[in-house]
Structure 1
Amino acid sequence: MKTYVSKGDIEKKWYLVDAEGKSLGRLSTEIARILRGKHKVTFTPHMNDGDYVVVVNADKIEVSGRKAEQKVYYHHTWYTGGLKAEAYKDLLARKPEEVITKAVKGMLPKNKLADKMIKQLRVYAGPEHPHAGANPQPLNF
Protein backbone atom coordinates (compact mmCIF):
# COMPACT_ATOMS: atom_id res chain seq x y z
CA MET A 1 0.00 0.00 0.00
CA LYS A 2 1.40 3.40 -0.96
CA THR A 3 1.44 6.41 1.32
CA TYR A 4 0.04 9.68 0.03
CA VAL A 5 2.34 12.71 0.29
CA SER A 6 0.98 16.14 -0.54
CA LYS A 7 2.84 18.06 -3.25
CA GLY A 8 1.92 21.46 -1.85
CA ASP A 9 -1.01 22.23 -4.17
CA ILE A 10 -3.46 22.71 -1.33
CA GLU A 11 -6.69 24.65 -1.66
CA LYS A 12 -7.49 26.48 1.56
CA LYS A 13 -11.09 27.13 2.57
CA TRP A 14 -12.51 29.58 5.09
CA TYR A 15 -14.81 28.44 7.90
CA LEU A 16 -16.95 30.51 10.27
CA VAL A 17 -17.55 29.30 13.84
CA ASP A 18 -20.00 30.87 16.27
CA ALA A 19 -18.65 30.36 19.81
CA GLU A 20 -21.82 31.44 21.61
CA GLY A 21 -22.77 28.86 24.25
CA LYS A 22 -20.02 26.43 23.21
CA SER A 23 -17.58 24.73 25.59
CA LEU A 24 -14.05 26.13 25.38
CA GLY A 25 -12.23 22.79 25.24
CA ARG A 26 -14.54 21.04 22.80
CA LEU A 27 -14.59 24.02 20.46
CA SER A 28 -10.79 24.40 20.63
CA THR A 29 -10.14 20.77 19.69
CA GLU A 30 -12.32 21.05 16.58
CA ILE A 31 -10.68 24.33 15.57
CA ALA A 32 -7.19 22.83 16.06
CA ARG A 33 -8.20 19.84 13.93
CA ILE A 34 -9.28 22.11 11.07
CA LEU A 35 -6.20 24.35 11.37
CA ARG A 36 -3.97 21.27 11.24
CA GLY A 37 -5.81 19.83 8.23
CA LYS A 38 -6.73 16.50 9.80
CA HIS A 39 -10.26 16.72 8.40
CA LYS A 40 -8.92 16.33 4.83
CA VAL A 41 -8.08 13.06 3.12
CA THR A 42 -4.86 14.68 1.90
CA PHE A 43 -3.51 15.25 5.42
CA THR A 44 0.28 15.29 5.55
CA PRO A 45 1.83 15.78 9.03
CA HIS A 46 4.85 17.80 7.92
CA MET A 47 2.88 20.32 5.83
CA ASN A 48 0.43 23.08 6.62
CA ASP A 49 -2.68 21.64 4.92
CA GLY A 50 -5.16 23.35 7.24
CA ASP A 51 -7.88 25.83 6.44
CA TYR A 52 -8.67 29.29 7.78
CA VAL A 53 -11.04 29.59 10.74
CA VAL A 54 -12.93 32.73 11.78
CA VAL A 55 -14.42 32.61 15.29
CA VAL A 56 -17.10 35.14 16.30
CA ASN A 57 -18.79 35.78 19.67
CA ALA A 58 -15.66 34.80 21.61
CA ASP A 59 -16.94 36.73 24.63
CA LYS A 60 -19.86 34.27 24.97
CA ILE A 61 -17.72 31.11 25.34
CA GLU A 62 -18.48 28.90 28.34
CA VAL A 63 -16.50 26.64 30.64
CA SER A 64 -17.89 23.91 32.87
CA GLY A 65 -17.76 23.63 36.63
CA ARG A 66 -15.82 26.21 38.62
CA LYS A 67 -13.18 26.78 35.94
CA ALA A 68 -14.26 30.40 35.55
CA GLU A 69 -12.97 31.12 39.07
CA GLN A 70 -10.18 28.53 39.31
CA LYS A 71 -8.47 28.55 35.90
CA VAL A 72 -5.38 30.77 35.85
CA TYR A 73 -3.22 31.90 32.92
CA TYR A 74 0.47 32.53 33.67
CA HIS A 75 3.16 34.42 31.80
CA HIS A 76 6.62 35.60 32.75
CA THR A 77 8.19 38.95 31.87
CA TRP A 78 11.73 37.44 32.04
CA TYR A 79 12.60 39.86 34.84
CA THR A 80 13.28 38.70 38.39
CA GLY A 81 9.96 38.13 40.15
CA GLY A 82 8.13 38.71 36.88
CA LEU A 83 5.63 35.84 37.03
CA LYS A 84 2.19 37.26 36.27
CA ALA A 85 -1.08 35.41 36.80
CA GLU A 86 -4.53 36.27 35.52
CA ALA A 87 -7.79 34.46 36.22
CA TYR A 88 -9.93 33.14 33.37
CA LYS A 89 -12.86 35.44 34.12
CA ASP A 90 -10.57 38.51 34.15
CA LEU A 91 -8.92 37.56 30.86
CA LEU A 92 -12.33 36.85 29.31
CA ALA A 93 -13.54 40.29 30.34
CA ARG A 94 -10.36 42.05 29.14
CA LYS A 95 -9.42 40.07 26.00
CA PRO A 96 -11.93 37.34 25.06
CA GLU A 97 -10.04 36.60 21.82
CA GLU A 98 -6.95 35.59 23.80
CA VAL A 99 -8.80 32.84 25.70
CA ILE A 100 -9.67 30.92 22.53
CA THR A 101 -6.30 31.62 20.90
CA LYS A 102 -4.37 30.24 23.90
CA ALA A 103 -6.57 27.14 24.09
CA VAL A 104 -6.14 26.35 20.38
CA LYS A 105 -2.40 27.08 20.38
CA GLY A 106 -1.91 24.61 23.22
CA MET A 107 -3.53 21.89 21.08
CA LEU A 108 -1.32 22.41 18.04
CA PRO A 109 2.05 20.66 17.61
CA LYS A 110 5.02 22.32 19.29
CA ASN A 111 7.05 23.08 16.17
CA LYS A 112 7.50 25.73 13.47
CA LEU A 113 4.31 24.67 11.70
CA ALA A 114 2.26 25.73 14.73
CA ASP A 115 3.26 29.36 14.16
CA LYS A 116 1.93 29.19 10.61
CA MET A 117 -1.23 27.36 11.66
CA ILE A 118 -2.15 29.80 14.43
CA LYS A 119 -1.94 32.68 11.93
CA GLN A 120 -4.83 31.04 10.06
CA LEU A 121 -7.06 31.57 13.11
CA ARG A 122 -9.03 34.82 13.38
CA VAL A 123 -10.96 35.42 16.61
CA TYR A 124 -13.41 38.28 17.25
CA ALA A 125 -15.27 39.17 20.45
CA GLY A 126 -18.50 40.25 18.76
CA PRO A 127 -20.62 38.91 15.90
CA GLU A 128 -18.95 41.13 13.26
CA HIS A 129 -15.86 40.14 11.26
CA PRO A 130 -14.05 41.72 8.26
CA HIS A 131 -13.66 38.46 6.30
CA ALA A 132 -16.98 38.49 4.45
CA GLY A 133 -15.10 38.74 1.13
CA ALA A 134 -13.58 35.29 1.71
CA ASN A 135 -17.11 33.84 1.97
CA PRO A 136 -16.51 31.61 5.03
CA GLN A 137 -18.71 28.54 5.31
CA PRO A 138 -20.48 28.13 8.67
CA LEU A 139 -19.29 25.19 10.76
CA ASN A 140 -21.53 23.51 13.33
CA PHE A 141 -20.12 21.28 16.05
Structure 2
Amino acid sequence: MFEDIERAWHQVDGYGQVCGRLASKLVPLLCGKHKPTYQPQRDMGDYVVVTNVAKTVHTGKALDQKRYYRHSGYAGGLSYVTLRQLIASNPLEPLRRAVYGMLPKNKLREQRMRRLRLYPGAEHSHGAQP
Protein backbone atom coordinates (compact mmCIF):
# COMPACT_ATOMS: atom_id res chain seq x y z
CA MET A 1 0.00 0.00 0.00
CA PHE A 2 2.72 2.46 0.97
CA GLU A 3 6.01 2.61 -0.87
CA ASP A 4 9.36 2.91 0.88
CA ILE A 5 10.51 6.39 1.83
CA GLU A 6 13.71 7.70 0.28
CA ARG A 7 15.65 9.40 3.07
CA ALA A 8 18.49 11.74 2.13
CA TRP A 9 21.17 13.20 4.40
CA HIS A 10 21.52 16.98 4.69
CA GLN A 11 24.56 18.60 6.27
CA VAL A 12 24.15 22.12 7.64
CA ASP A 13 26.89 24.33 9.07
CA GLY A 14 25.62 26.37 12.02
CA TYR A 15 28.67 28.66 12.25
CA GLY A 16 27.48 32.25 12.79
CA GLN A 17 23.80 31.50 12.17
CA VAL A 18 21.04 32.71 14.47
CA CYS A 19 19.73 29.78 16.52
CA GLY A 20 15.99 30.27 15.94
CA ARG A 21 16.34 30.99 12.24
CA LEU A 22 18.51 27.94 11.80
CA ALA A 23 15.89 25.84 13.60
CA SER A 24 13.14 27.10 11.31
CA LYS A 25 15.18 25.91 8.29
CA LEU A 26 15.77 22.47 9.80
CA VAL A 27 12.15 21.65 10.65
CA PRO A 28 10.86 21.35 7.03
CA LEU A 29 13.76 18.99 6.24
CA LEU A 30 12.89 16.79 9.24
CA CYS A 31 9.18 16.77 8.29
CA GLY A 32 9.77 16.18 4.57
CA LYS A 33 7.92 19.28 3.38
CA HIS A 34 10.51 19.88 0.66
CA LYS A 35 9.48 16.65 -1.12
CA PRO A 36 6.76 16.52 -3.78
CA THR A 37 5.40 13.33 -2.16
CA TYR A 38 4.87 15.00 1.25
CA GLN A 39 1.98 13.64 3.32
CA PRO A 40 1.38 15.21 6.74
CA GLN A 41 0.21 11.94 8.32
CA ARG A 42 3.42 10.07 7.35
CA ASP A 43 6.99 10.50 8.48
CA MET A 44 8.61 11.49 5.16
CA GLY A 45 11.56 13.53 6.45
CA ASP A 46 15.28 13.26 5.91
CA TYR A 47 18.29 13.02 8.21
CA VAL A 48 19.86 16.35 9.17
CA VAL A 49 23.42 16.69 10.48
CA VAL A 50 24.24 20.09 11.99
CA THR A 51 27.87 20.94 12.72
CA ASN A 52 29.33 23.91 14.65
CA VAL A 53 26.23 24.17 16.84
CA ALA A 54 28.34 25.66 19.66
CA LYS A 55 29.13 28.62 17.38
CA THR A 56 25.54 29.68 16.68
CA VAL A 57 24.53 33.24 17.54
CA HIS A 58 21.83 34.45 19.92
CA THR A 59 20.56 37.95 19.26
CA GLY A 60 19.65 40.80 21.57
CA LYS A 61 19.55 40.25 25.33
CA ALA A 62 18.45 36.63 24.96
CA LEU A 63 21.48 35.21 26.78
CA ASP A 64 20.39 36.79 30.06
CA GLN A 65 16.63 37.29 29.59
CA LYS A 66 15.50 34.02 28.00
CA ARG A 67 14.54 31.44 30.60
CA TYR A 68 13.83 27.72 30.33
CA TYR A 69 11.35 26.70 33.04
CA ARG A 70 10.72 23.34 34.64
CA HIS A 71 8.56 22.24 37.57
CA SER A 72 9.27 19.50 40.08
CA GLY A 73 5.62 18.76 40.74
CA TYR A 74 5.80 20.02 44.32
CA ALA A 75 4.44 23.30 45.67
CA GLY A 76 6.91 26.09 44.95
CA GLY A 77 8.89 23.76 42.70
CA LEU A 78 9.18 26.08 39.69
CA SER A 79 12.78 26.66 38.67
CA TYR A 80 14.55 27.96 35.59
CA VAL A 81 17.90 28.30 33.89
CA THR A 82 18.87 31.18 31.64
CA LEU A 83 20.10 30.66 28.10
CA ARG A 84 23.65 31.53 29.17
CA GLN A 85 23.58 28.81 31.87
CA LEU A 86 22.09 26.28 29.45
CA ILE A 87 24.82 26.95 26.87
CA ALA A 88 27.49 26.59 29.55
CA SER A 89 26.17 23.17 30.59
CA ASN A 90 25.30 21.83 27.10
CA PRO A 91 25.83 23.98 23.96
CA LEU A 92 23.63 21.68 21.83
CA GLU A 93 20.52 21.99 24.00
CA PRO A 94 19.19 25.44 22.88
CA LEU A 95 19.03 24.40 19.20
CA ARG A 96 17.56 20.99 20.11
CA ARG A 97 14.83 22.66 22.17
CA ALA A 98 14.14 25.22 19.43
CA VAL A 99 13.66 22.49 16.80
CA TYR A 100 11.58 20.39 19.21
CA GLY A 101 9.27 23.33 19.88
CA MET A 102 8.78 24.06 16.17
CA LEU A 103 7.87 20.50 15.16
CA PRO A 104 4.17 19.57 14.99
CA LYS A 105 2.82 18.32 18.32
CA ASN A 106 1.84 14.78 17.30
CA LYS A 107 3.02 11.18 17.51
CA LEU A 108 5.67 11.70 14.80
CA ARG A 109 7.55 14.34 16.78
CA GLU A 110 9.94 11.93 18.56
CA GLN A 111 10.69 9.98 15.35
CA ARG A 112 11.61 13.20 13.58
CA MET A 113 13.83 14.33 16.44
CA ARG A 114 15.78 11.04 16.24
CA ARG A 115 16.89 12.01 12.72
CA LEU A 116 18.42 15.29 13.93
CA ARG A 117 22.14 14.93 14.68
CA LEU A 118 23.84 17.85 16.43
CA TYR A 119 27.62 18.30 16.85
CA PRO A 120 29.36 21.17 18.69
CA GLY A 121 32.37 21.25 16.34
CA ALA A 122 33.09 20.61 12.69
CA GLU A 123 33.83 16.89 13.16
CA HIS A 124 31.05 14.32 12.91
CA SER A 125 30.76 10.59 12.31
CA HIS A 126 28.42 10.77 9.30
CA GLY A 127 31.06 11.37 6.64
CA ALA A 128 30.03 9.22 3.66
CA GLN A 129 26.27 8.86 3.73
CA PRO A 130 24.45 7.86 0.52
**TM-score normalised by structure 2 residue count:** 0.92
1:114 aligned residue (109, 114, 120): 109
**Gaps spanning 5+ residues in structure 1: where?**
1-5, 136-141
Matched, 1:92 2:92: no
| Aligned partner of residue 15 in structure 1, secondary structure | strand
1:47 aligned residue (42, 47, 72): 42
Matched, 1:31 2:26: yes
Q: Whole-Å Cα distance in 1 between the matches of residues 107 and 40 of structure 2?
A: 12
Q: 2:127 is matched with which residue? A: 132
Question: How many correspondences in the alignment?
Answer: 130
**Gaps spanning 5+ residues in structure 2: where?**
none
Whether contact under 8 Å (1:59, 1:93) holds in the other structure is no
Q: 1:21 is matched with which residue? A: 16
1:65 is displaced (CA, Å) by 1.2
1:59 is displaced (CA, Å) by 0.8
RMSD: 1.5
Whether contact under 8 Å (1:10, 1:49) holds in the other structure is yes
Q: Whole-Å Cα distance in 2 between the matches of residues 8 and 128 of structure 1?
A: 34
Q: 2:2 is matched with which residue? A: 7
Sequence identity, in percent? 43
Matched, 1:74 2:65: no
**TM-score normalised by structure 1 residue count:** 0.86
After superposing on structure 2, the runs of 4+ consecutive aligned residues of structure 1 that deviate more than 6 Å are none
Bigger shift: residues 93-102 or 73-82: 73-82
Matched, 1:83 2:116: no
